[in-house]
Copies of this chain bind each other. A is one copy, B any other.
Amino acid sequence: MSNHIMHAFDNDLKMLEGKIMQMGEMTKTAIDLSIKALMTHDIELAKTVRAGDKAIDALQRDIEEKGTLTIAKRQPMANDLRAIVGTFRVANDLERMVDLAKNIAKRVMTIDLSESQLKKAPMAFDTLSRLANERLDSVLKAYAAGDTEGAKTIWGSDDEIDAGYNSLFRELLTYMVESPKNISACAHLLFCAKNIERMGDHATNIAETVWYVAKGEILGDDRPRG
C-alpha cells in the first residue's frame, strides 16, 4: 500500500475497533442488567434489556458494512485483511452474548425466585455472571492491545466458569427433585445458567480471534478443558 492508503486504512481500522469497544461496553451492561433483573425479579429492567439489542444489531451491521467497504477500497492484505475480518468475528460474538442476555431477560417474566425455595439460587447466578463479565472484560482488553499472550491465557482458562455452571446445573436439579413445584422455574433457570456459560465460550472465541488476527494461525483444538 502507498503511504496515503496505509494512513487511510489505519484510520478505517481504528474507527472499526472503536465501534467494537463500544459494542463491548454495551454487552457488559446487558449481561449485568439481565442478571440483576433475574435476581430481583425486576420486570421493567428486563424489558429495558430486551429493547436494548436493537442498538447492538445496528452497530454490528454498521461494522460489517464499513468493514467490507474498507476491504474493497483499500485492498488490504495479510494481517491488515485479518484485522478487518477480526472485527466481523468479534462483533458477531458480542451480538450473540447480548442475545443470550436478552434471553435471560425474557425468562425473568416467568421466574420469580423470591417466591419459592429458590431463594438461594441467585447467589450462584451472580457469581457465574461476574466470572463471565470479567472474562469478557479481559479479552476485550487483550483485543484492544493486540495482546496475543493475554488472549491465549484467557483461551485456556474457562475451567472456572465451566465448574461454576456444572455445580449450578446440579444445584438446580436438586431443587427440582425436592419439589415438583420448582420444576418449571428451574427448567427456565437451567437455560439461564447455560446462557451464562455460553457467554464464557464467546469470550473464548474472541481470544481465538485476537490470536488469529496477529498470527494468521488458528489456536489449536488442544485447548485444556476442565
Please indicate the chain B residues that have their CB under 8 angstroms from the CB of A61 in the complex: 218
Are the CB atoms of B177 and A183 closer together than 8 Å? yes
Chain B CB within 8 A of A92 CB: yes
Chain B CB within 8 A of A64 CB: yes
Q: Mark A171-204, 1 if CB is under 8 A from B, else 0.
A: 0110011001001100100110010000000000
Are the CB atoms of B176 and A180 closer together than 8 Å? yes
Closest to A84 in B: B68
Chain B CB within 8 A of A77 CB: yes
* Count of identical protomers in the assembly: 2
Please indicate the chain B residues that have their CB under 8 angstroms from the CB of A73 in the complex: 75
Chain B CB within 8 A of A71 CB: yes
In the complex, what's the smallest C-beta–C-beta distance from A217 to chain B, in angstroms?
11
Partner of A77, one of B72, B169, B176: B72
In the complex, what's the smallest C-beta–C-beta distance from A81 to chain B, in angstroms?
5
Chain B CB within 8 A of A143 CB: no
Q: Mark A71-91, 1 if CB is under 8 A from B, else 0.
A: 111011100010011001000
Chain B CB within 8 A of A54 CB: yes
7 additional A-B pairs beyond A177-B180, A190-B190, beta carbons within 8 Å, are A69-B81, A71-B71, A75-B75, A173-B184, A187-B187, A187-B190, A191-B191
Chosen A-B contacts, 9 in total, with CB atoms closer than 8 Å, are A68-B81, A69-B81, A72-B75, A72-B76, A72-B81, A176-B180, A177-B183, A187-B187, A191-B194
Closest CB pairs A-B (n = 7):
A177-B180, A71-B71, A72-B75, A176-B183, A68-B81, A68-B85, A177-B183
